A and B are shown apart, each in its own frame.
Chain A
Amino acid sequence: MTSRPELQAPPEIFYNDDEARKYSSSSRIIDIQAKLTERALELLALPEDDVPRLLLDIGCGSGLSGETLTENGHHWIGLDISGSMLNVALEREAEGDLILGDMGQGLGVRPGVIDGAISISAVQWLCNADRSSHEPRLRLKAFFGSLYRCLARGARAVLQVYPENLAQRELILGSAMRAGFSGGVVVDFPHSTKMRKEFLVLTCGQASLSSATPQARGEDGEGCSDDEDSSGDEENQSVSVSDRHRPKKKHKLNKKVKGREWVMEKKEKMRRKGNVVPADSKYTARKRKTRF
């Protein structure tokens, strides 16, 4: 792979008729997309009651991921910015309804009606400004805001992304949190450059007990020990991100760094080390005049 598609052209231009056809006739890509969609469905944690749900496929492209949704019995609405890709989806007789639209403009879906949303390899496109009028932050805000609104209570969004770097990761995650989502990132096969896949698992509304961040997959298909720094549960090999209720910045931690107690402790420590420390007296840690 010479360079990332996102750096070559905007998605509606990159995915022209030729590219769309190439993309959708590669059996390797079809296979990968199917696997990613299956995994996303797993992470979506829909109730196992065999009731077909109404799902959103964001960046549905030529319907490769949609096919897996249909196979699992669900109805879906797909959104994509590339007319060429959607044409291929029509040729492949995609079962879901297709919409030509730009997720960065907002999804345009009524509040509270969607049972779950997935996105395979699409959201990172929002991080690039493809036009001078684009401001990635605003587009991400419009996207996540509208996504949050259209999801039903308790519904999830699982977005498989290919962020270019840490800055993009933080940009995407930050926008999601600000829109009101709680959730985290699941990284499958974190140690393998080829197989590594990142899924943003976002929940709407009350995070119930059953919605703890799911276990990531290791090379052997089971959860593996994550050497990377992971703040969060020890059980889950994933990075858990706190939800939006963070303490306000004003709430500074009142640490008495300069108190007498602290100074005495420090002196004791130094003595134990073997350093030469002045004797304690009533003047130790006394408040000096301000000119010091």
Chain B
Amino acid sequence: MRLLTHNMLSSNIKGVTSGFPLRIEVEKMVEKEVELNADFLRNMFAKVEWKALVEASKTLGYTELPDNVEPSMLDSDEFLNRFHHALLELHLEEGALVCPETGRKFPVNKGIPNMLLHEDEV
């Protein structure tokens, strides 16, 4: 599961108001190279929750992302590379996503998070 997806997911449990971002517990992570597309990155830049992305990439062991960003940084290739790497090339293979409000763990196996809610959480 890429950090792109992690940045879009929120805890869906009944009654939870601030289910984003989900905390990450890493057991295994991989890096998979993928082609960089500047247009896509620019498109996503506006939608990504930056703080959550920085936190998540740090949890996966990547600390090169700047804490504060401005749209002008998108012109820098160096920044785009780092952004691209964090967003699309870091994969969480085994571990869990944790709801920040209830602490409920959503296990991640083979890169697939299990977001199925129990009967009482719907």
Binding site for B on A (CB under 8 A): 49-54, 75, 77, 81, 86-87, 90, 97-102, 105-110, 112-115, 133, 142, 146, 150, 152
Are the CB atoms of B112 and A98 closer together than 8 Å?
Answer: yes
Minimum CB distance partner of B9 in chain A: A108
Question: Does B115 make an interface contact (CB < 8 A)?
Answer: yes
Q: A86 CA to B114 CA in the complex, in Å?
A: 11
Residues of B within 8 A of A86 (CB): 112
Residues of B within 8 A of A115 (CB): 43
**Contacts A110-B20, A113-B47 hold; do A105 and B10 have CB atoms under 8 A apart?**
no
Minimum CB distance partner of A152 in chain B: B47
Minimum CB distance partner of B92 in chain A: A97
Residues of A within 8 A of B58 (CB): none
Minimum CB distance partner of A80 in chain B: B112
A131 nearest CB across to chain B (Å): 8
Minimum CB distance partner of A76 in chain B: B5
A136 nearest CB across to chain B (Å): 14
A193 nearest CB across to chain B (Å): 36
Contact check: which of A50, A77, A150 meets B39 at CB < 8 Å?
Answer: A50
Residues of B within 8 A of A108 (CB): 9-12, 19, 115
Minimum CB distance partner of A146 in chain B: B12
Contact check: which of B9, B43, B116 meets A100 at CB < 8 Å?
Answer: B116
Q: A150 CA to B110 CA in the complex, in Å?
A: 26
Most chain A CB atoms below 10 A, which of B2, B7, B12, B44: B12
Q: A78 CA to B122 CA in the complex, in Å?
A: 21
**Contacts A97-B2, A100-B112, A133-B119 hold; do A52 and B12 have CB atoms under 8 A apart?**
no
User: 23 pairs across A/B with beta carbons < 8 Å?
Assistant: A51-B39, A51-B40, A54-B8, A54-B43, A54-B44, A75-B40, A75-B88, A99-B1, A99-B9, A99-B113, A99-B115, A108-B10, A108-B11, A108-B19, A108-B115, A109-B9, A110-B7, A110-B49, A113-B47, A115-B43, A133-B119, A142-B122, A150-B8
Residues of B within 8 A of A54 (CB): 4, 8, 43-44, 47
Q: A133 CA to B2 CA in the complex, in Å?
A: 33
Minimum CB distance partner of A89 in chain B: B112
**Contacts A97-B4, A108-B10 hold; do A52 and B40 have CB atoms under 8 A apart?**
yes
Q: A268 CA to B5 CA in the complex, in Å?
A: 72
Are the CB atoms of B119 and A110 closer together than 8 Å?
Answer: no
Question: Of residues 1 to 35 in B, which have CB atoms within 8 Å of A's CB atoms?
Answer: 1-2, 4-5, 7-12, 19-20
Are the CB atoms of B112 and A90 closer together than 8 Å?
Answer: yes
Question: Does B117 make an interface contact (CB < 8 A)?
Answer: yes
Q: A290 CA to B42 CA in the complex, in Å?
A: 75
Are the CB atoms of B112 and A75 closer together than 8 Å?
Answer: no
